[in-house]
Amino acid sequence: MTFSLDSPLTDAVGATAAKKLDRAFGMQTVGEMLAHYPRRYADPAELTPISNLPVGETVTIVAEVLSSSARGMRNRSGAMTDVIISDGQGRVSLTFFAKNLRQAEWRAGELYRGRRGMFSGKVGEYRDVIQFAHPQYELFDDAESAQAKAEDQASRPLPIYPATSAVSSQQFRELVESLLPKLSDVPDPVPQEIRAKEKLLDARTALIQVHRPQTKNDIDPAVRTLRMHEALVLQTALFQQRDAVRALTAVSRPAAAGGLLERFDATLPYTLTPDQQSVGAQVASDLAGERPMNRLVQGEVGSGKTLVALRGMLQVAESGGQSALIAPTEVLAAQHLRSITKLLGPKLAPEVMPTLLTGQMPAAERRKAALRVASGQALIVVGTHALLGEKTTFAELGLVVVDEQHRFGVEQREALRAKGTSPHALVMTATPIPRTVAMTVFGDLDTSVIRTMPAGRAGIQSFVAPLAEHPAWFQRVWDRAAEEVAQGHQVFAVCAAIDTTKKTDAAGEEGAALLPTEEGATGPRWGVVQLDEALQTHPTVGKLRRAVLHGKMPSDQKDAVMQAFARGEIDVLIATTVIEVGVDVPNASTMIILDADRFGVSQLHQLRGRVGRGAVPGLCLLVTEAEEGSLARERVEAVAATLDGFALAEVDLELRGEGDVLGSTQSGVRSSLRLLRVVKDSKLIARARELAEKILEADPSLTEHPGLRDVIARRVTEEDRAALAKN
């Protein structure tokens, strides 16, 4: 009997094993199982004598069990199994942790005296004894089997798989090896002519070689082929997503002579920057077209993206269309409303009636706002993602502007289409995106970049306060803050948590991803609560007007604090990253970031952009306890060294890796991104993008490319497509 990639695992490996795989990895088909690739290979050369084991390295040894025992933990719940193995030249201690004594005893029973096998793990040392903690192992059934497997291992790399307590690497490898001979034809996403030109393996051979390489030389061609598969499938899906939007019909909304946009431009007290003009022209052209705009606008912090978006909203309003501006937080939504109202001025604002609509507004106020939106009276609507809920009705929604963290996803587009329109979409981000990431994640959008900054900005100076070498500088940081306030300016102080005494807050506000310290600690030193308490006793800052701001405060309280700060009624605002994006207080001169090493490069750059936005020179103090020469310190110093966000984005990618930069996006398309690495495989991704575009130009429905069509259907679900269209 043979099995295809779509065959259920219950048929291919049996009901018991299939149930384990489903629970451990969510696998249900042969294809899903074979897409669980080895994370590394134990090389034949890694069969190292115990007497020569290098501490700190991962090795594989063949050895015999001398003893095994199970015991409960002394000071906490759980149990452990202690095993001693030997290869005749030396001994290694193995330690396995278990939830209870029963599990530990089961492990001891499996690893009985005289049992031989291959053991793979990271070499450690405890009290002068060489040990492996929770190693992978594969036991031999008998002496002949041991000899045969050892000989086989001497010439064949051993795949080591991501495993769980329920399914070990050895168990998974045995299931895969029993399955491979029964594998039928595998749909190949790469056409034969491209495969030959790119020197790729066919899909079935690539799968077999990645899971069961006969030599070390089999691995790279298989991995390269499967990476190209992933890249081609991803890029084709992105182009399909783009083309699906382009196939829709949108209401053409050209600007009219003497209309709202022209009148607005006439009131501006400054000239648009060259980039604002060129990007504005692209947006205006898109809006005048008969297919929906689907554009990403990248721009440095303070480069004027909101102004570009507002001009687009006014162009839509000229024909009676409404625009919805979706912001990631209520604080930012309220800030946007105030900024837009101020930009429009007393004459234009009443005509378009900018309206705030969020989920946490008082019921009566929300009903009043919802009525203005439903009637079409409000032509510009600002709110959080709750704007797209079923209860919100638009009279004629023509444009959706998405600011920062959220992108206009498939589900949201469908929800809005159901409201009676096929709206244009404009996505803004102040986080410069490296070309490789943009190509991989935002490939379905037309992209514009605003690099030039508006005139009149005083600029920002950035400095690192390295407390590891100069602990006394902590005091100087606050003296400097007091000096700025004495000059009539205001100060932001940002912490990585709300309250470090509470576990839920110590790892970051509302699930925000914080980077671990070099020592692996999970909590930052300073929270908003702790800093506010500490500053109460400071001889100068303690006498200043202070306030706190974080995401768990009630909506009206957050807004009141921000407005008071904007009016100059607060000298020092102690906040979490809730102020990271879009908060605009020109009189704020200083940004102090505590535990700066806990933030990513791009986030530090965003936070820094909150100051130096007007005629007041900006000062950013990056306070860190990270040691000199550490990766954490490198991140902070990289930010202090340049104000070029695009350069920092590349640094961020190099220092942190694409997993952190892509964030949840990568996990959202986990079924199609297994081996692909954005940085390492940038050339391959670019090549795949060229191939995908040519394939779809010649064969939009993929009728002549059934292999590619089948793989996309299998790997890229509707959920994945939604993830591709989100940030």
Domain boundaries, the chain: 44-156, 274-450, 460-642
In order, the DSSP letters of 268-316 are: -SSPPPHHHHHHHHHHHHHHHSSS--EEEEEE-TTS-HHHHHHHHHHHH
- CA 184 to CA 7: how far, in whole Å? 10
pLDDT at 410: 52
Range name among 76-80, 275-279, 658-662, 692-696 with the lowest pLDDT average: 658-662
Give the contacts of 726 (CB within 8 A, at least 6 positions apart). 406, 407, 409, 665, 668
pLDDT digits (tens, 9 = 90+) for 460-478: 899 999 998 999 999 999 9
- CA 161 to CA 170: how far, in whole Å? 8
- CA 90 to CA 686: how far, in whole Å? 51
Are 44-156 and 460-642 equal in CATH topology?
A: no
Question: Which is it for strands 546-549 and 572-575: parallel, antiparallel or unpaired?
Answer: parallel
Question: Nearest-CA neighbor of 329 among 273, 441, 406, 390?
Answer: 406
Handedness of CA 267, 270, 276, 278 (dihedral sign): positive
Intra-chain end-to-end CA distance of the chain, in Å: 44
pLDDT at 726: 40
Question: CB–CB of 383/409 below 8 Å?
Answer: no
Helix (H) or strand (E) holding 464: strand 460-466
Mean pLDDT of the chain: 83
Handedness of CA 298, 303, 306, 307 (dihedral sign): negative
pLDDT at 521: 45
pLDDT at 152: 59
Residue 715 in this model has a pLDDT that exceeds 50: yes
Residue indicated by tokens 């899909």: 203
pLDDT at 582: 54
pLDDT digits (tens, 9 = 90+) for 249-279: 889 999 999 999 999 999 998 889 899 999 9
Range name among 206-210, 382-386, 449-453 with the lowest pLDDT average: 449-453
Give the confidence band of 668 by pLDDT, cuts at 50, 70, 90: very low
Phi, psi of 56 (to 5 degrees): 95, -10
C-alpha distances in Å from residue 475, one per residue of 471, 489, 533, 540, 604: 8, 19, 15, 11, 22
- CA 593 to CA 584: how far, in whole Å? 17
Give the highest mean pLDDT range of 63-77, 194-208, 455-469: 194-208
Identify each DSSP E strand in 73-218 by its residue range. Answer: 79-86, 91-98, 116-126, 129-133, 136-139, 158-160
* CATH numeric code, 274-450: 3.40.50.300
Q: Give the sheet arrangement for strand 397-403, strand by strand.
A: 355-357, 380-383, 322-326, 397-403, 424-429, 294-299, 446-450
In words, the CATH class of domain 44-156 is: mainly beta
Mean pLDDT of the 23-40 span: 91
CA 465 to chain centre: 28
pLDDT digits (tens, 9 = 90+) for 264-319: 999 998 889 899 999 999 999 999 999 999 888 988 767 788 899 999 999 999 99
CA 677 to chain centre: 14
Residue 653 in this model has a pLDDT that exceeds 50: yes
Residue 81 in this model has a pLDDT that exceeds 70: yes
- CA 130 to CA 503: how far, in whole Å? 35
- CA 240 to CA 443: how far, in whole Å? 10
Mean pLDDT of the 10-34 span: 93
Give the confidence band of 724 by pLDDT, cuts at 50, 70, 90: very low
Residue indicated by tokens 């004459």: 347
pLDDT at 146: 54
Share of the chain above pLDDT 90, in %: 44
- CA 249 to CA 251: how far, in whole Å? 7
- CA 527 to CA 494: how far, in whole Å? 9
- CA 433 to CA 674: how far, in whole Å? 22
Residue 491 in this model has a pLDDT that exceeds 60: yes
Classified as helix, coil or strand, 47 is: strand
Question: CB–CB of 184/160 below 8 Å?
Answer: no
The 10 Å Cβ neighbour count of residue 513 is 13
- CA 207 to CA 596: how far, in whole Å? 44
Residue 177 in this model has a pLDDT that exceeds 70: yes
Question: Nearest-CA neighbor of 525 among 549, 502, 496, 547?
Answer: 496
Question: Nearest-CA neighbor of 399 among 594, 508, 505, 261?
Answer: 261
- CA 139 to CA 708: how far, in whole Å? 40
Range name among 175-189, 503-517, 531-545 with the lowest pLDDT average: 503-517
pLDDT digits (tens, 9 = 90+) for 587-619: 999 999 999 998 888 788 888 888 887 778 899
pLDDT at 666: 33
pLDDT digits (tens, 9 = 90+) for 344-377: 999 999 999 999 998 888 889 999 999 999 999 9
Classified as helix, coil or strand, 8 is: strand
3-state helix, strand, coil in the chain (%, to 5): 45, 20, 35
Residue 670 in this model has a pLDDT that exceeds 50: no
Handedness of CA 354, 356, 357, 358 (dihedral sign): positive
pLDDT at 723: 45
Handedness of CA 44, 45, 49, 50 (dihedral sign): negative
Query: Residue 65 forms beta bridges with which residues?
Result: 85
C-alpha distances in Å from residue 604, one per residue of 610, 638, 649: 10, 10, 11
**Alpha-carbon torsion, ordered 682, 686, 689, 694, to 10 deg:** -160
pLDDT at 127: 77
- CA 292 to CA 520: how far, in whole Å? 47
- CA 503 to CA 512: how far, in whole Å? 13
Residue 148 in this model has a pLDDT that exceeds 80: no
pLDDT at 465: 95
pLDDT digits (tens, 9 = 90+) for 385-429: 778 777 889 999 999 998 865 455 555 656 666 666 688 989 888
- CA 406 to CA 401: how far, in whole Å? 10
- CA 186 to CA 212: how far, in whole Å? 16
C-alpha distances in Å from residue 388, one per residue of 282, 358, 409: 26, 10, 11
- CA 558 to CA 148: how far, in whole Å? 70
Question: Nearest-CA neighbor of 548 among 518, 520, 577, 573?
Answer: 573
Residue 725 in this model has a pLDDT that exceeds 80: no
Residue indicated by tokens 């606050």: 478
pLDDT at 655: 64
What is the token pair recorded at 22? Answer: 């489903």
In order, the DSSP letters of 372-439 are: HHHHT--SEEEE-GGGGSTT---SSEEEEEEETT----HHHHHHHHTTT---EEEEEESS---HHHHH
In order, the DSSP letters of 117-140 are: EEEEEEEEEETTEEEEES-EEEE-
Mean pLDDT of the 425-441 span: 73
Question: CB–CB of 578/565 below 8 Å?
Answer: no
Mean pLDDT of the 699-721 span: 79
Q: Which CATH architecture has domain 460-642?
A: 3-Layer(aba) Sandwich (3.40)
